[in-house]
Amino acid sequence: MTVKLYRNARIFTPLDAGHPLRGKEQGRIEEYRRGAILAVNGLIEAIGEENKVLGSLSAYSVNEERDMEGACIIPGFVDPHTHMCFAKRREDEFKMRLDGLPYLEILKRGGGILSSVKAVQSVTEEELFCSTKKLVMAALAKGTTTVEIKSGYGLDLELEMKMLSVIRRISKETPLDVVPTFMGAHAVPAEYKANPDNFVDLIINEMLPKVKGQGIAEFCDVFCEEGVFSVDQSRKILKAAKGLGFEMKIHADEVHDLGGAGLAAELGVRSAEHLLAASEENLRAMGKAGSIAVLLPATAYSLKKPYARGREMIDWDVPVALATDCNPGSCFCESVPFIFGLGVMNMDMTIEEALAASTLNAAYAVSRQQKVGSLEPGKQADFLVLDGETPTALAYHAGNTSVLEVHKLAERVA
Ligand code: NIG
Ligand code: FE
């Protein structure tokens, strides 16, 4: 048994009430001014004000004790939406976008997601593993201790499996907890352009059952967007996925208000992502259905689009989470501290709301709330030591991660 005691720390954490935090709840953060964490075999045994935690100590002989000298501790970040498994960067496209070519136009011309498919095709599984691992470890150093990673640069069974195998290896060979998502419905391959419904059928009849059979993905995600998958096609795919036992996610209303958020509400998906163009009516319906809005402000930044209405969504009682969307196209950013800053500065979220959004609500968005997302007894001792007095430092020290130390299961990993 390994027993570790961290004392004399200023600890900030949301508290898990058994559901994602929404409305006024999202801004409620517990603070232990002179706090302590007692971790047994990587799990939190006790946490709170130091005098109380010390009171519960008699049952244990402590192997390691650390005086944190008043340092600020928060839960490890959960990044609930990434496309970190890719083979090549698309810096040239970024320049094209800066010169005025729209993101969806690049895809229409066979670039964008489709160029990343060619790249995944052209590298070995080992090469794909190495590039993915490098990015995941960079995210870990910036405080991400749990990460969701999507497939979706394969678009056929073999290549999707190649990606999902790499994602599984990342989960085994890095300190992070990894949540795997199947996203065969990320774009329509060129050969199906004339008959996209045939590709939808292929996903439903062949890919989904095989992926499920391998037990290699937990979530199914669809890019519901003009020129990609319609609301009807997305509904078909997600219903089939749900029938097989996948949890559902949807890229909704990123560029156009197609009604993806309305579909999210109708199906009661776990989370709907992007939502830059979503209507108030559909967002409110999502909140009622219990779906989480996963907002990706670094994508709005990188696409030079107006930000999603994070402030309003919280006021409309929609639980909000933050994620990087880290991918080679619309947003090359693995830094949760950066999106935290954008959430506060450009979406008018409070520090407390942004903290809940990047920890507990993000954990709910990937169904990991029982293990991570807040610092409470029974959960993993995944925490960050910040360079600053409070989590405000994350937004205050612009362009800096403010993350000094990363601990996973009570082990220092970065
Ligand atoms: O979430 N919008 C669709 N998928 C990603 C971008 C993927 C890419 O451009 O490679 C996103 O923004
Ligand atoms: Fe995405």
pLDDT per residue as tens, the chain (414 positions): 999 999 999 999 999 999 999 999 999 999 999 999 999 999 999 999 999 999 888 888 999 999 999 999 999 999 999 999 999 999 999 999 999 999 999 999 999 999 999 999 999 999 999 999 999 999 999 999 999 999 999 999 999 999 999 999 999 999 999 999 999 999 999 999 999 999 999 999 999 999 999 999 999 999 999 999 999 999 999 999 999 999 999 999 999 999 999 999 999 999 999 999 999 999 999 999 999 999 999 999 999 999 999 999 999 999 999 999 999 999 999 999 999 999 999 999 999 999 999 999 999 999 999 999 999 999 999 999 999 999 999 999 999 999 999 999 999 999
Q: Pull the structure tokens for residue 135.
A: 């990015």
Ligand nearest to the CA of 187: 1
- Do the beta carbons of residue 289 and residue 268 sit within 8 Å? yes
What is the predicted pLDDT for the residue at 57? 87
**Residue whose CA lies nearest to ligand 1 atom number 9:** 329
Ligand 1 atom with least separation from CA of 90: 10
Residues with a beta carbon under 5 angstroms from ion ligand 2? 325
State whether the beta carbon of 260 lies less than 6 angstroms from ligand 1: no
Of 157, 138, 123, 143, give the one whose Cα is nearest residue 84.
138
Does the pTM surpass 0.85? The reply is yes
State whether the beta carbon of 181 lies less than 6 angstroms from ligand 1: no
State whether the beta carbon of 150 lies less than 6 angstroms from ligand 1: no
For residues 108 and 114, give the distance between their C-alpha atoms in angstroms, rounded to a whole number: 9
- What are the start-end ranges of the H helices in 109-259? 113-122, 125-141, 157-173, 196-202, 208-214, 231-244
For residues 319 and 358, give the distance between their C-alpha atoms in angstroms, rounded to a whole number: 12
- Do the beta carbons of residue 311 and residue 348 sit within 8 Å? yes
Give the CATH H-level superfamily of domain 78-365.
Metal-dependent hydrolases (3.20.20.140)
- What are the start-end ranges of the H helices in 24-176? 50-55, 91-98, 103-108, 113-122, 125-141, 157-173
State whether the beta carbon of 93 lies less than 6 angstroms from ligand 1: no
The number of angstroms, rounded, from the C-alpha of 55 to the middle of its chain's C-alpha atoms is 37
What is the predicted pLDDT for the residue at 152? 98
Angstrom CA distances, 171 to 75, 127, 136, 159, stand at 20, 16, 10, 19
In the chain, where are the structural domains located?
Answer: 3-76+373-412, 78-365
**3-state class (DSSP) for residue 283:** helix
Q: Pull the structure tokens for residue 112.
A: 């964008």
* Backbone angle region of 24, left / alpha / beta, with phi > 0 → left and psi within -120 to 50 → alpha: alpha
How would you classify the pairing of strands 292-295 and 320-322?
parallel
Angstrom CA distances, 65 to 21, 41, 172, 367, stand at 33, 14, 29, 32
Give the CATH H-level superfamily of domain 3-76+373-412.
Urease, subunit C, domain 1 (2.30.40.10)
Ligand 1 atom with least separation from CA of 225: 2
**Residue whose CA lies nearest to ligand 1 atom number 8:** 329
Q: Determine phi and psi for 100, rounding to 5 degrees.
A: 115, -5
**Residue whose CA lies nearest to ligand 1 atom number 6:** 330
**Residue whose CA lies nearest to ligand 1 atom number 5:** 330
What is the 3-class SS of 293-314, one letter each residue?
A: EEECHHHHHHHCCCCCCHHHHH
Find all residues with CB under 8 Å of 225, minimum gap 6, and list them.
104, 251, 254, 255, 256, 258, 260
Q: What is the pLDDT of residues 319-369, one digit of tens each?
A: 999 999 999 999 999 999 999 999 999 999 999 999 999 999 999 999 999
Of 183, 186, 188, give the one whose Cα is nearest residue 211.
183
What is the predicted pLDDT for the residue at 58? 83
Q: What is the pLDDT of residues 26-64, one digit of tens each?
A: 999 999 999 999 999 999 999 999 999 998 888 889 999
